[in-house]
Amino acid sequence: MSIQWLFDVIQSRKKNFSKSSYTSSLFEEGLAKIAQKVGEEGTEVVVAALAQNDQRLIEEIADLTYHTLVLLAARGLTPADVLVELEKRHK
């Protein structure tokens, strides 16, 4: 599995709505809901980092990563766009 693989799955759920897909339901609820989920997951990462075990932190970072990828897709952006920005900062 890779970030690109996960992003491809997310893009597929965006294009091919499924009632049984959580990802599709996020796209249906819209940008505000997706952004809210990113905020919630960010807060949960902070809590896990400060007060929970390593496994819980990994789980919360996974949730944040997933919701961040959904947000990128909702805005028509890709993980490659983020990598370009990171490369600019490295130089």
Residue-wise pLDDT for 38-75, tens only, equals 999 999 999 999 999 999 999 999 999 999 999 999 99
Burial of 12 (0-12, 13-18, 19+ CB in 10 A): middle
Mean pLDDT of the chain: 97
Residue 1 scores a pLDDT above 90: no
User: 3-13+30-90 is classed in which CATH architecture?
Assistant: Orthogonal Bundle (1.10)
> What's the whole-model pTM score?
0.94
How far is residue 67's CA from residue 81's CA, in Å, rounded to a whole number?
16
Domain ranges in the chain?
3-13+30-90
